[in-house]
Structure 1
Protein backbone atom coordinates (compact mmCIF):
# COMPACT_ATOMS: atom_id res chain seq x y z
CA UNK A 1 0.00 0.00 0.00
CA UNK A 2 1.38 3.37 -1.04
CA UNK A 3 0.91 5.93 1.74
CA UNK A 4 0.68 9.64 0.98
CA UNK A 5 0.32 12.36 3.61
CA UNK A 6 -1.45 15.54 2.53
CA UNK A 7 -0.08 18.22 4.82
CA UNK A 8 0.61 21.90 5.29
CA UNK A 9 0.65 23.51 8.72
CA UNK A 10 -1.12 26.58 7.34
CA UNK A 11 -4.89 26.35 7.50
CA UNK A 12 -7.25 27.13 4.65
CA UNK A 13 -4.98 25.96 1.83
CA UNK A 14 -7.24 23.20 0.51
CA UNK A 15 -5.81 20.15 2.26
CA UNK A 16 -9.13 18.48 2.95
CA UNK A 17 -10.61 19.38 -0.44
CA UNK A 18 -7.50 17.92 -2.05
CA UNK A 19 -7.61 14.78 0.10
CA UNK A 20 -11.28 14.08 -0.64
CA UNK A 21 -11.08 14.68 -4.37
CA UNK A 22 -7.71 13.11 -5.11
CA UNK A 23 -8.81 10.00 -3.19
CA UNK A 24 -12.05 9.92 -5.18
CA UNK A 25 -10.15 10.31 -8.44
CA UNK A 26 -7.82 7.44 -7.54
CA UNK A 27 -10.78 5.23 -6.64
CA UNK A 28 -12.46 6.16 -9.92
CA UNK A 29 -9.27 5.05 -11.67
CA UNK A 30 -9.65 1.58 -10.16
CA UNK A 31 -7.37 1.90 -7.14
CA UNK A 32 -8.49 0.44 -3.82
CA UNK A 33 -8.22 3.64 -1.79
CA UNK A 34 -8.25 4.42 1.93
CA UNK A 35 -8.54 7.95 3.31
CA UNK A 36 -7.46 8.37 6.93
CA UNK A 37 -8.89 11.52 8.51
CA UNK A 38 -6.36 12.59 11.13
CA UNK A 39 -7.72 16.10 11.62
CA UNK A 40 -9.87 16.50 14.79
CA UNK A 41 -12.23 18.74 12.81
CA UNK A 42 -13.27 15.66 10.84
CA UNK A 43 -14.04 17.62 7.69
CA UNK A 44 -12.82 14.92 5.33
CA UNK A 45 -15.19 12.44 6.98
CA UNK A 46 -18.09 14.85 6.62
CA UNK A 47 -17.14 15.58 3.01
CA UNK A 48 -17.37 11.87 2.24
CA UNK A 49 -20.85 11.64 3.71
CA UNK A 50 -20.05 10.07 7.10
CA UNK A 51 -22.09 11.94 9.73
CA UNK A 52 -20.63 12.36 13.23
CA UNK A 53 -23.29 10.11 14.78
CA UNK A 54 -22.13 7.18 12.64
CA UNK A 55 -18.45 7.35 13.63
CA UNK A 56 -18.51 4.55 16.20
CA UNK A 57 -14.81 3.95 15.69
CA UNK A 58 -12.42 6.66 14.57
CA UNK A 59 -8.79 7.59 14.14
CA UNK A 60 -8.73 8.34 17.86
CA UNK A 61 -9.65 4.73 18.67
CA UNK A 62 -6.98 3.56 16.24
CA UNK A 63 -4.24 5.66 17.84
CA UNK A 64 -5.29 4.73 21.38
CA UNK A 65 -5.46 1.03 20.48
CA UNK A 66 -9.17 0.96 21.33
CA UNK A 67 -10.08 -0.34 17.90
CA UNK A 68 -8.33 -2.18 15.09
CA UNK A 69 -7.89 -0.73 11.65
CA UNK A 70 -10.57 -3.10 10.33
CA UNK A 71 -13.01 -1.93 13.00
CA UNK A 72 -12.33 1.74 12.27
CA UNK A 73 -12.68 1.57 8.48
CA UNK A 74 -16.02 2.64 7.03
CA UNK A 75 -17.20 2.27 3.47
CA UNK A 76 -18.21 5.41 1.62
CA UNK A 77 -20.76 5.81 -1.14
CA UNK A 78 -17.89 5.86 -3.64
CA UNK A 79 -16.85 2.42 -4.95
CA UNK A 80 -13.32 1.40 -3.92
CA UNK A 81 -13.01 4.31 -1.46
CA UNK A 82 -13.05 3.65 2.29
CA UNK A 83 -12.39 6.03 5.17
CA UNK A 84 -11.20 5.98 8.76
CA UNK A 85 -13.17 8.96 10.10
CA UNK A 86 -12.12 11.47 12.75
CA UNK A 87 -13.96 12.81 15.78
CA UNK A 88 -13.26 15.66 18.18
CA UNK A 89 -11.78 13.13 20.62
CA UNK A 90 -8.73 13.16 18.39
CA UNK A 91 -7.80 16.61 19.70
CA UNK A 92 -6.85 14.98 23.01
CA UNK A 93 -4.74 12.24 21.46
CA UNK A 94 -1.57 14.32 21.34
CA UNK A 95 -1.67 14.77 25.14
CA UNK A 96 -2.65 11.17 25.83
CA UNK A 97 0.14 9.80 23.65
CA UNK A 98 2.92 11.89 25.18
CA UNK A 99 4.04 9.17 27.59
CA UNK A 100 3.88 6.32 25.04
CA UNK A 101 7.16 4.99 23.67
CA UNK A 102 5.69 4.41 20.21
CA UNK A 103 3.79 7.71 20.09
CA UNK A 104 5.50 8.77 16.85
CA UNK A 105 4.82 5.65 14.80
CA UNK A 106 1.58 4.40 16.36
CA UNK A 107 -0.41 5.13 13.19
CA UNK A 108 2.06 3.24 11.02
CA UNK A 109 1.91 0.21 13.29
CA UNK A 110 -1.87 0.13 13.54
CA UNK A 111 -2.40 0.38 9.77
CA UNK A 112 -0.08 -2.54 9.00
CA UNK A 113 -2.94 -5.06 9.28
CA UNK A 114 -4.71 -3.57 6.24
CA UNK A 115 -1.57 -2.94 4.19
CA UNK A 116 -2.48 -5.58 1.60
CA UNK A 117 -6.15 -4.54 1.40
CA UNK A 118 -5.54 -1.24 -0.40
CA UNK A 119 -3.41 0.10 -3.22
CA UNK A 120 -3.07 3.62 -1.82
CA UNK A 121 -3.76 5.41 1.45
CA UNK A 122 -4.06 9.17 1.96
CA UNK A 123 -3.73 10.98 5.28
CA UNK A 124 -5.65 14.24 5.69
CA UNK A 125 -3.52 16.05 8.27
CA UNK A 126 -4.49 18.87 10.65
CA UNK A 127 -3.20 22.43 10.08
CA UNK A 128 -0.30 22.05 12.50
CA UNK A 129 3.03 20.26 12.83
CA UNK A 130 2.11 18.46 16.06
CA UNK A 131 2.14 14.79 16.98
CA UNK A 132 -0.79 13.88 14.72
CA UNK A 133 0.94 15.24 11.62
CA UNK A 134 4.25 13.68 12.67
CA UNK A 135 2.46 10.32 12.98
CA UNK A 136 1.22 10.71 9.41
CA UNK A 137 4.69 11.68 8.15
CA UNK A 138 6.17 8.70 9.97
CA UNK A 139 3.65 6.35 8.34
CA UNK A 140 3.84 7.87 4.86
CA UNK A 141 6.03 7.03 1.89
CA UNK A 142 5.60 10.51 0.51
CA UNK A 143 4.12 13.94 1.10
CA UNK A 144 1.76 15.92 -1.12
CA UNK A 145 1.68 19.63 -0.23
CA UNK A 146 -1.31 21.81 -1.17
CA UNK A 147 -0.10 25.41 -1.40
CA UNK A 148 -2.46 28.36 -1.59
CA UNK A 149 -1.42 30.99 -4.11
CA UNK A 150 -0.93 33.74 -1.54
CA UNK A 151 2.17 35.48 -0.19
CA UNK A 152 2.12 34.04 3.35
CA UNK A 153 1.93 30.52 1.96
CA UNK A 154 5.59 30.77 0.95
CA UNK A 155 6.68 31.38 4.54
CA UNK A 156 4.66 28.38 5.73
CA UNK A 157 6.19 26.21 3.05
CA UNK A 158 9.72 26.83 4.34
CA UNK A 159 8.65 25.73 7.83
CA UNK A 160 7.07 22.58 6.45
CA UNK A 161 10.20 21.72 4.44
CA UNK A 162 12.28 22.07 7.62
CA UNK A 163 9.94 19.70 9.44
CA UNK A 164 10.15 17.18 6.60
CA UNK A 165 13.94 17.33 6.80
CA UNK A 166 13.86 16.64 10.54
CA UNK A 167 11.46 13.70 10.01
CA UNK A 168 13.76 12.31 7.32
CA UNK A 169 16.76 12.57 9.62
CA UNK A 170 15.24 11.13 12.76
CA UNK A 171 12.05 9.19 12.05
CA UNK A 172 11.40 8.25 8.44
CA UNK A 173 14.44 8.41 6.14
CA UNK A 174 12.44 7.19 3.15
CA UNK A 175 9.92 10.06 3.27
CA UNK A 176 9.96 12.19 0.14
CA UNK A 177 7.90 15.04 -1.25
CA UNK A 178 5.98 13.66 -4.20
CA UNK A 179 4.76 17.08 -5.23
CA UNK A 180 3.38 20.51 -4.45
CA UNK A 181 -0.01 21.44 -5.86
CA UNK A 182 -1.05 25.07 -6.24
CA UNK A 183 -4.58 25.64 -4.93
CA UNK A 184 -7.14 28.46 -4.97
CA UNK A 185 -5.63 29.80 -8.17
CA UNK A 186 -7.33 32.93 -9.50
CA UNK A 187 -6.09 34.13 -12.87
CA UNK A 188 -7.75 37.50 -12.32
CA UNK A 189 -5.36 38.19 -9.44
CA UNK A 190 -1.85 39.22 -10.48
CA UNK A 191 -0.45 38.19 -7.08
CA UNK A 192 -1.63 34.64 -7.75
CA UNK A 193 0.50 34.46 -10.89
CA UNK A 194 3.48 35.93 -9.06
CA UNK A 195 3.27 33.43 -6.19
CA UNK A 196 2.92 30.53 -8.64
CA UNK A 197 5.95 31.77 -10.56
CA UNK A 198 8.00 32.12 -7.36
CA UNK A 199 7.06 28.61 -6.17
CA UNK A 200 7.98 27.04 -9.50
CA UNK A 201 11.28 28.94 -9.56
CA UNK A 202 12.06 27.73 -6.04
CA UNK A 203 10.89 24.10 -6.27
CA UNK A 204 11.11 23.38 -9.98
CA UNK A 205 9.81 19.97 -10.99
CA UNK A 206 8.31 19.28 -7.57
CA UNK A 207 5.38 21.54 -8.48
CA UNK A 208 2.59 19.82 -10.38
CA UNK A 209 1.64 21.35 -13.72
CA UNK A 210 -2.03 21.20 -12.72
CA UNK A 211 -3.33 24.11 -10.66
CA UNK A 212 -6.56 23.95 -8.67
CA UNK A 213 -8.73 27.00 -9.38
CA UNK A 214 -11.01 28.84 -7.01
CA UNK A 215 -14.33 27.19 -7.72
CA UNK A 216 -17.75 27.56 -6.14
CA UNK A 217 -18.66 23.92 -6.76
CA UNK A 218 -15.61 22.74 -4.80
CA UNK A 219 -16.88 24.76 -1.84
CA UNK A 220 -20.48 23.58 -2.16
CA UNK A 221 -19.81 19.86 -2.45
CA UNK A 222 -18.91 19.10 1.23
CA UNK A 223 -22.25 20.47 2.44
CA UNK A 224 -23.88 17.69 0.42
CA UNK A 225 -21.53 15.03 1.82
CA UNK A 226 -20.04 14.46 -1.61
CA UNK A 227 -16.66 14.98 -3.29
CA UNK A 228 -16.83 17.62 -6.02
CA UNK A 229 -16.03 14.88 -8.54
CA UNK A 230 -19.39 13.30 -7.70
CA UNK A 231 -21.32 16.50 -6.96
CA UNK A 232 -20.40 18.10 -10.29
CA UNK A 233 -17.87 16.12 -12.30
CA UNK A 234 -17.79 18.68 -15.11
CA UNK A 235 -16.91 21.77 -13.05
CA UNK A 236 -13.48 23.35 -13.36
CA UNK A 237 -12.42 22.12 -9.92
CA UNK A 238 -13.35 18.51 -10.65
CA UNK A 239 -11.54 18.55 -13.98
CA UNK A 240 -8.46 19.96 -12.25
CA UNK A 241 -8.42 17.20 -9.63
CA UNK A 242 -8.76 14.52 -12.28
CA UNK A 243 -5.79 16.07 -14.07
CA UNK A 244 -3.85 16.19 -10.79
CA UNK A 245 -4.60 12.51 -10.19
CA UNK A 246 -3.18 11.63 -13.60
CA UNK A 247 -0.02 13.56 -12.78
CA UNK A 248 0.23 11.86 -9.40
CA UNK A 249 -0.09 8.45 -11.02
CA UNK A 250 2.86 9.33 -13.22
CA UNK A 251 5.01 10.03 -10.16
CA UNK A 252 4.21 6.87 -8.20
CA UNK A 253 6.79 4.06 -8.20
CA UNK A 254 6.09 1.90 -11.23
CA UNK A 255 6.69 -1.35 -9.39
CA UNK A 256 4.09 -0.46 -6.74
CA UNK A 257 1.27 0.73 -8.97
CA UNK A 258 -2.01 -1.11 -9.03
CA UNK A 259 -2.46 -3.60 -11.81
Structure 2
Protein backbone atom coordinates (compact mmCIF):
# COMPACT_ATOMS: atom_id res chain seq x y z
CA UNK A 1 0.00 0.00 0.00
CA UNK A 2 1.30 3.46 -0.94
CA UNK A 3 1.36 5.81 2.03
CA UNK A 4 -0.28 9.18 1.55
CA UNK A 5 1.59 12.33 2.48
CA UNK A 6 0.11 14.03 5.52
CA UNK A 7 -1.62 17.38 5.07
CA UNK A 8 1.18 19.23 6.87
CA UNK A 9 4.51 17.91 8.08
CA UNK A 10 6.80 20.58 9.56
CA UNK A 11 10.35 20.41 8.20
CA UNK A 12 12.83 22.19 10.46
CA UNK A 13 16.20 23.27 9.08
CA UNK A 14 18.58 23.82 12.01
CA UNK A 15 20.86 26.53 10.67
CA UNK A 16 23.02 29.53 11.46
CA UNK A 17 25.51 31.11 9.06
CA UNK A 18 28.00 31.11 11.94
CA UNK A 19 29.58 27.86 13.07
CA UNK A 20 30.09 26.80 16.67
CA UNK A 21 26.62 27.80 17.88
CA UNK A 22 25.50 24.28 18.80
CA UNK A 23 23.20 23.46 15.90
CA UNK A 24 24.10 19.76 15.82
CA UNK A 25 23.63 19.40 19.59
CA UNK A 26 20.26 21.11 19.35
CA UNK A 27 19.18 19.10 16.32
CA UNK A 28 19.80 15.76 18.03
CA UNK A 29 18.62 16.50 21.57
CA UNK A 30 15.67 18.80 20.94
CA UNK A 31 14.28 16.55 18.21
CA UNK A 32 14.45 13.54 20.55
CA UNK A 33 12.57 15.48 23.21
CA UNK A 34 9.89 16.45 20.65
CA UNK A 35 9.55 12.76 19.72
CA UNK A 36 9.23 11.64 23.34
CA UNK A 37 6.98 14.41 24.63
CA UNK A 38 4.68 14.80 21.63
CA UNK A 39 4.76 11.15 20.50
CA UNK A 40 5.32 12.05 16.86
CA UNK A 41 7.29 10.11 14.25
CA UNK A 42 10.53 12.06 13.80
CA UNK A 43 13.24 11.88 11.15
CA UNK A 44 16.70 13.46 11.35
CA UNK A 45 18.53 14.22 8.09
CA UNK A 46 22.26 14.93 8.26
CA UNK A 47 22.86 17.36 5.38
CA UNK A 48 26.20 18.70 6.64
CA UNK A 49 29.23 17.28 4.74
CA UNK A 50 31.09 17.13 8.06
CA UNK A 51 28.31 14.76 9.27
CA UNK A 52 28.93 15.53 12.94
CA UNK A 53 25.32 14.65 13.76
CA UNK A 54 25.86 11.13 12.45
CA UNK A 55 29.24 10.75 14.14
CA UNK A 56 27.76 11.82 17.46
CA UNK A 57 24.93 9.29 17.33
CA UNK A 58 26.23 6.25 15.44
CA UNK A 59 29.15 4.02 16.35
CA UNK A 60 31.85 3.89 13.67
CA UNK A 61 31.25 0.20 12.90
CA UNK A 62 27.53 0.83 12.37
CA UNK A 63 28.18 3.83 10.15
CA UNK A 64 30.68 1.89 8.03
CA UNK A 65 27.97 -0.68 7.27
CA UNK A 66 25.56 2.02 6.13
CA UNK A 67 28.25 3.68 4.05
CA UNK A 68 29.29 0.40 2.38
CA UNK A 69 25.66 -0.30 1.50
CA UNK A 70 25.15 3.26 0.14
CA UNK A 71 22.58 3.90 2.85
CA UNK A 72 23.40 7.55 3.46
CA UNK A 73 21.91 10.88 2.47
CA UNK A 74 24.14 10.88 -0.62
CA UNK A 75 21.89 8.23 -2.20
CA UNK A 76 18.99 10.67 -1.87
CA UNK A 77 20.99 13.23 -3.87
CA UNK A 78 22.12 11.00 -6.74
CA UNK A 79 22.14 7.28 -7.62
CA UNK A 80 25.13 5.04 -7.05
CA UNK A 81 27.70 5.48 -9.83
CA UNK A 82 31.38 5.88 -10.62
CA UNK A 83 31.26 9.55 -11.64
CA UNK A 84 33.96 11.81 -10.23
CA UNK A 85 33.89 14.83 -7.97
CA UNK A 86 32.98 17.26 -10.74
CA UNK A 87 30.06 15.36 -12.24
CA UNK A 88 26.62 14.21 -11.14
CA UNK A 89 25.02 10.84 -11.77
CA UNK A 90 21.49 10.93 -13.17
CA UNK A 91 18.76 8.35 -13.40
CA UNK A 92 15.13 8.08 -14.42
CA UNK A 93 14.54 5.96 -11.33
CA UNK A 94 13.01 7.70 -8.30
CA UNK A 95 15.11 8.34 -5.19
CA UNK A 96 15.11 5.69 -2.46
CA UNK A 97 12.48 5.70 0.26
CA UNK A 98 13.35 6.71 3.80
CA UNK A 99 13.06 3.10 5.00
CA UNK A 100 15.79 2.14 2.51
CA UNK A 101 18.33 4.49 4.14
CA UNK A 102 17.29 5.10 7.72
CA UNK A 103 18.81 3.98 10.98
CA UNK A 104 16.12 3.57 13.63
CA UNK A 105 16.92 4.58 17.21
CA UNK A 106 13.57 4.26 18.99
CA UNK A 107 9.87 3.65 18.52
CA UNK A 108 6.85 4.24 20.76
CA UNK A 109 5.80 1.01 22.48
CA UNK A 110 2.08 1.68 22.08
CA UNK A 111 2.52 3.09 18.55
CA UNK A 112 5.35 1.15 16.84
CA UNK A 113 4.88 3.09 13.61
CA UNK A 114 6.02 6.26 15.40
CA UNK A 115 9.79 6.03 15.11
CA UNK A 116 12.81 8.22 15.77
CA UNK A 117 15.20 7.71 12.85
CA UNK A 118 18.18 9.26 11.09
CA UNK A 119 19.34 9.36 7.49
CA UNK A 120 23.13 9.17 8.01
CA UNK A 121 25.37 11.89 6.60
CA UNK A 122 28.13 11.47 4.05
CA UNK A 123 31.37 13.36 3.41
CA UNK A 124 30.76 12.91 -0.32
CA UNK A 125 28.32 15.82 -0.09
CA UNK A 126 31.37 18.07 -0.17
CA UNK A 127 31.54 17.55 -3.95
CA UNK A 128 28.66 20.00 -4.41
CA UNK A 129 30.79 22.83 -3.05
CA UNK A 130 33.30 22.12 -5.83
CA UNK A 131 30.79 22.35 -8.68
CA UNK A 132 29.36 25.36 -10.47
CA UNK A 133 27.19 23.65 -13.09
CA UNK A 134 23.75 24.92 -12.10
CA UNK A 135 21.91 22.61 -14.47
CA UNK A 136 23.47 19.51 -12.91
CA UNK A 137 22.98 20.83 -9.39
CA UNK A 138 19.31 21.52 -10.10
CA UNK A 139 18.84 17.83 -10.81
CA UNK A 140 20.42 16.98 -7.46
CA UNK A 141 18.19 19.44 -5.59
CA UNK A 142 15.05 18.21 -7.35
CA UNK A 143 15.88 14.61 -6.44
CA UNK A 144 16.48 15.57 -2.79
CA UNK A 145 13.18 17.45 -2.60
CA UNK A 146 11.37 14.48 -4.12
CA UNK A 147 13.00 12.22 -1.52
CA UNK A 148 11.89 14.54 1.25
CA UNK A 149 8.32 14.62 -0.02
CA UNK A 150 8.29 10.83 0.22
CA UNK A 151 9.58 11.02 3.79
CA UNK A 152 6.57 13.10 4.80
CA UNK A 153 4.29 10.09 4.35
CA UNK A 154 6.17 8.21 7.10
CA UNK A 155 6.89 10.93 9.69
CA UNK A 156 5.12 13.71 11.54
CA UNK A 157 8.12 16.04 11.59
CA UNK A 158 11.58 16.22 10.01
CA UNK A 159 14.73 17.95 11.29
CA UNK A 160 17.60 18.79 8.91
CA UNK A 161 21.07 19.46 10.33
CA UNK A 162 22.67 22.02 7.99
CA UNK A 163 26.20 23.23 7.34
CA UNK A 164 26.98 26.81 8.47
CA UNK A 165 27.27 28.52 5.09
CA UNK A 166 25.27 29.83 2.14
CA UNK A 167 26.06 26.77 0.02
CA UNK A 168 24.12 24.65 -2.45
CA UNK A 169 23.20 22.28 0.39
CA UNK A 170 21.87 25.22 2.39
CA UNK A 171 19.60 26.06 -0.54
CA UNK A 172 18.38 22.46 -0.66
CA UNK A 173 17.47 22.61 3.03
CA UNK A 174 15.79 26.01 2.75
CA UNK A 175 13.63 24.91 -0.18
CA UNK A 176 12.55 21.87 1.84
CA UNK A 177 11.95 23.69 5.12
CA UNK A 178 8.75 25.05 6.56
CA UNK A 179 10.68 26.42 9.56
CA UNK A 180 14.26 27.42 10.35
CA UNK A 181 15.49 26.94 13.90
CA UNK A 182 18.44 29.25 14.49
CA UNK A 183 20.68 28.52 17.49
CA UNK A 184 22.19 31.70 18.89
CA UNK A 185 24.80 31.85 21.63
CA UNK A 186 24.72 34.89 23.93
CA UNK A 187 27.52 36.72 22.12
CA UNK A 188 27.66 39.48 19.50
CA UNK A 189 28.93 37.31 16.68
CA UNK A 190 26.09 34.78 16.86
CA UNK A 191 23.57 37.57 16.33
CA UNK A 192 25.59 38.70 13.32
CA UNK A 193 25.12 35.22 11.84
CA UNK A 194 21.39 35.50 12.51
CA UNK A 195 21.17 38.86 10.74
CA UNK A 196 23.04 37.56 7.70
CA UNK A 197 20.83 34.47 7.52
CA UNK A 198 17.68 36.57 7.74
CA UNK A 199 18.89 38.87 4.97
CA UNK A 200 19.88 35.88 2.83
CA UNK A 201 16.41 34.34 3.15
CA UNK A 202 14.63 37.62 2.43
CA UNK A 203 16.66 38.26 -0.72
CA UNK A 204 16.46 34.74 -2.15
CA UNK A 205 13.96 35.17 -5.01
CA UNK A 206 13.43 31.45 -5.64
CA UNK A 207 12.39 30.78 -2.04
CA UNK A 208 8.62 31.13 -1.81
CA UNK A 209 6.91 30.80 0.55
CA UNK A 210 9.58 31.78 3.05
CA UNK A 211 10.20 29.38 5.95
CA UNK A 212 9.25 30.68 9.39
CA UNK A 213 12.23 31.79 11.47
CA UNK A 214 12.51 30.55 15.06
CA UNK A 215 15.41 31.39 17.39
CA UNK A 216 16.77 29.44 20.34
CA UNK A 217 19.29 30.88 22.79
CA UNK A 218 21.92 28.22 23.41
CA UNK A 219 24.76 27.83 25.90
CA UNK A 220 23.11 30.02 28.52
CA UNK A 221 24.63 29.81 32.00
CA UNK A 222 22.30 28.69 34.77
CA UNK A 223 24.28 30.61 37.36
CA UNK A 224 23.32 34.03 36.05
CA UNK A 225 24.38 35.89 32.92
CA UNK A 226 27.55 37.90 32.66
CA UNK A 227 27.17 41.47 31.44
CA UNK A 228 27.74 40.64 27.77
CA UNK A 229 25.40 37.64 27.73
CA UNK A 230 22.65 39.56 29.53
CA UNK A 231 23.04 42.47 27.13
CA UNK A 232 22.89 40.22 24.06
CA UNK A 233 19.79 38.40 25.31
CA UNK A 234 18.06 41.70 26.11
CA UNK A 235 18.96 43.08 22.69
CA UNK A 236 17.66 39.95 20.96
CA UNK A 237 14.36 39.86 22.85
CA UNK A 238 13.79 43.58 22.25
CA UNK A 239 14.56 43.31 18.53
CA UNK A 240 11.43 44.27 16.52
CA UNK A 241 11.81 41.32 14.16
CA UNK A 242 13.78 38.69 16.07
CA UNK A 243 12.28 39.23 19.53
CA UNK A 244 8.85 37.70 18.78
CA UNK A 245 10.56 34.76 17.05
CA UNK A 246 12.83 33.91 19.99
CA UNK A 247 11.69 31.00 22.14
CA UNK A 248 11.17 31.75 25.82
CA UNK A 249 12.81 28.44 26.77
CA UNK A 250 16.62 28.39 26.85
CA UNK A 251 19.19 25.72 26.00
CA UNK A 252 21.52 25.60 29.01
CA UNK A 253 25.27 25.41 29.10
CA UNK A 254 26.12 21.92 30.31
CA UNK A 255 28.87 19.32 30.16
CA UNK A 256 26.17 16.88 29.10
CA UNK A 257 26.10 18.49 25.66
CA UNK A 258 29.85 18.54 25.12
CA UNK A 259 31.00 16.22 22.32
CA UNK A 260 33.18 13.33 23.44
CA UNK A 261 35.17 10.91 21.32
CA UNK A 262 34.40 8.07 23.73
CA UNK A 263 30.61 8.53 23.66
CA UNK A 264 27.94 8.23 20.99
CA UNK A 265 24.33 8.93 21.79
CA UNK A 266 22.09 11.56 23.32
CA UNK A 267 22.82 13.90 26.22
CA UNK A 268 19.85 12.70 28.24
CA UNK A 269 21.29 9.16 28.25
CA UNK A 270 24.57 10.19 29.85
CA UNK A 271 24.86 9.28 33.49
CA UNK A 272 25.29 12.28 35.76
CA UNK A 273 23.67 14.54 38.29
CA UNK A 274 22.37 16.76 35.51
CA UNK A 275 20.06 14.17 33.92
CA UNK A 276 16.79 15.23 35.57
CA UNK A 277 17.43 18.94 35.08
CA UNK A 278 18.54 18.52 31.46
CA UNK A 279 15.43 16.46 30.77
CA UNK A 280 13.16 19.16 32.18
CA UNK A 281 14.91 21.91 30.20
CA UNK A 282 14.74 19.95 26.94
CA UNK A 283 11.07 19.23 27.58
CA UNK A 284 10.35 22.96 27.97
CA UNK A 285 12.08 23.68 24.65
CA UNK A 286 10.34 20.77 22.91
CA UNK A 287 6.88 21.77 24.10
CA UNK A 288 7.30 25.40 23.06
CA UNK A 289 8.83 24.46 19.71
CA UNK A 290 6.13 21.86 19.02
CA UNK A 291 3.51 24.53 19.59
CA UNK A 292 5.17 26.74 16.98
CA UNK A 293 5.29 23.79 14.56
CA UNK A 294 1.64 22.89 15.07
CA UNK A 295 2.40 19.47 16.58
- Superposed pair shares fold, TM > 0.5: yes
Q: Deviations over 1:71-110 (max 9, x none)?
A: 2222125652100111211111344574323444442222
- Which residue number in structure 2 is paired with residue 208 of structure 1? 247
- CA distance in 1 between counterparts of 2:261 and 2:96 reads 28
Alpha-carbon distance change, 84 to 50 in structure 1, aligned in 2, over 3 angstroms: farther
Aligned to 1:53: 64
CA distance in 1, matches of 2:236, 2:260: 29
- Write the distance in 2 (CA, Å) between the matches of 1:222 and 1:207: 32
Partner SS state of residue 147, structure 2 = helix
| Uncovered stretches (5+) of structure 1, i.e. residues with no partner | none
**How far off its partner does 1:129 sit?**
1.4
Separation (CA, whole Å) in 2 of partners of 1:129 and 1:164:
10
Match of 2:126 among 72, 91, 98: 91
After TM superposition, the score normalised by the length of structure 1 is 0.89
Q: 1:86 to 1:130 in 2, by over 3 A?
A: same
The residue that corresponds to 1:63 in the other structure is 77
Contact 2:27 2:161 in 1 (8 A): yes
Cα distance in 2 for partners of 1:207, 1:242 equals 17
Question: Aligned in 2, Cα 1:77/1:53: closer, same or farther, shift over 3 Å?
Answer: farther
Q: Which residue of 1 is the match for residue 173 of structure 2?
A: 136
Spell out, residue by residue over 1:134-157, the C-alpha distance to the aligned partner (whole angstroms, 9 max, x if none): 100100111111011111112111
Name the structure 1 match of 2:11: 3
Q: Distance between the aligned counterparts of 1:81 and 1:23, measured in 2? A: 9
Partner of 1:74: 103
1:243 maps to: 284
Which stretch has the larger CA shift, 233-242 or 190-199? 233-242
Which residue does 1:234 correspond to in 2?
275
The structure that is helix-richer by fraction is: 1
- Equivalence for 1:165: 202
Q: Summarize deviations over 1:203-257 as a string: whole Å, max 9, x none.
A: 222110111121011115774211112225725444322211010111123xxx3
Aligned to 1:126: 163
Of 185-194 and 4-13, more deviation after overlay is shown by 185-194
Q: How many aligned positions are there?
A: 252
> Once the 2 structures are TM-superposed, how far is the Cα of residue 50 of structure 1 from its aligned partner?
4.7
Task: Return the index of the structure with the highest Cα Rg.
Answer: 2
Conserved 8 A contact 2:201-2:210: no
CA distance in 1, matches of 2:257, 2:107: 17
Please name the residue that 2:91 is paired with: none
Within a 5 Å distance, the mapping from 1:164-183 to structure 2 comes to 164-167=201-204, 169-177=205-213, 179-183=214-218
Counterparts of 2:79 and 2:184, CA distance in 1 = 33
Alpha carbons of structure 1 residues 180 and 125: separation in structure 2 relative to 1, 3 Å: same
- Does the 8 Å CA contact 1:221/1:227 hold for their aligned counterparts? no
TM-score (norm 2): 0.78
